Amino acid sequence: MPRLVKESPGKGRLHIDSPLMGESLVSKEFLKRTEAKEYFRMQPEINVIKIGGQSIIDRGRDAVLPVVDVLIRAKEKHKIILMTGGGTRARHVYSIGVDLGMPTGVLSKLGDKVSWQNAEMLSVLLNKYGGVKIGHGDNLEQLTMFCQLGYLPITYGIPPYGFFEHPAEFGSIPPHRTDCGAFLLAENIGARSLIFLKDERGLFDRDPKKVPKAQRKKMHFFDRISAKKLLELDLDDLIIERPILTLLQRAKCLKELQIIDALNHPEHILAALEGKHVGTIIYKE
């Protein structure tokens, strides 16, 4: 246990005597010894659901309202936090920002406004059923309270990196967008599950939208695959943001995530919440 000790008699400086005292926090060998025996899961009953901006919200009422109907039913049985993507409008502002030479951190701040707008719209649609929009501050520590009181908390998916966003490996688009935000929240609260609502069955080796219909039968569908294997395959395109694969390999609490088709099969939301395999599962080895 850490304890206070004096450097010298009299009015000497106080130090905290702990296992980390005098250690370098960049030593790989030392950092390996800081692994906890068991990680505390703050909210293990919460299910994090990320609703795609471009795949669901941008399509309007025909896509959004069936999903809303399922979420209304789901919240009666499951504790959920809903997180929103940015979609086409975020891509538009990224395009303008890139053209103006904006750095990655600025683009991150621009993109989060669109995800925020989508969270606002969903909170209005779900308001009379308990939908309530929350921010990234203290509200996130009160998720259990919101759920126990019958609310459905909704927040925007962009993680609060802002100016502190990591430089992108390729180009300047922020690498940690709304998919990563949903993952980071699920991991750090020790969530029960993480489900991504998309407009495709799950993960294919190529983007079905870019493949002619005549060739789609030749595409490979990944029913279940490890993050490590996906990294090794190094596919040109993915249905979720690429940094998630690395994050999942390092995760302490989250062991897997599922990607489902909520556009054509909104009922799959209920199935996934029940733990059923209805899309692509990416897992940590």
* 74-101: pLDDT as tens digits: 999 999 999 999 999 999 999 999 999 9
**pLDDT at 6 > cutoff 70:** no
pLDDT of residue 190: 96
Question: Mind listing the domains of the chain with CATH numbers?
Answer: 1-35 (no CATH), 39-283 (3.40.1160.10)
**pLDDT at 28 > cutoff 90:** no
The one-character DSSP state at 20 is T
Q: Where are the beta strands (DSSP E) in 27-151?
A: 46-51, 79-84, 131-133
pLDDT of residue 2: 57
pLDDT of residue 192: 97
Match 């908390």 to its residue by tokens: 153
pLDDT digits (tens, 9 = 90+) for 125-154: 999 999 999 998 878 888 889 988 999 999
* Contact of 230 with 247, CB cutoff 8 Å: no
Place 7 in a pLDDT band, splitting at 50, 70 and 90. Answer: low
pLDDT of residue 19: 74
* Contact of 119 with 138, CB cutoff 8 Å: no
pLDDT of residue 214: 85
Q: What angle do CA 135, 139, 142 make, to 5 degrees?
A: 150
Classify each residue of 70-106 as buried b or exposed e, where b means 16 or more C-beta atoms within 10 Å of its C-beta: bbbebbeebbbbbbbbbbebbeebbeebeeeebebbb
Q: What is the mean pLDDT of residues 156-164?
A: 93
Q: What angle do CA 211, 216, 219 make, to 5 degrees?
A: 100
Closest alpha carbon to 247 in 143, 170, 177, 156: 177
The whole model's pTM is what? 0.92
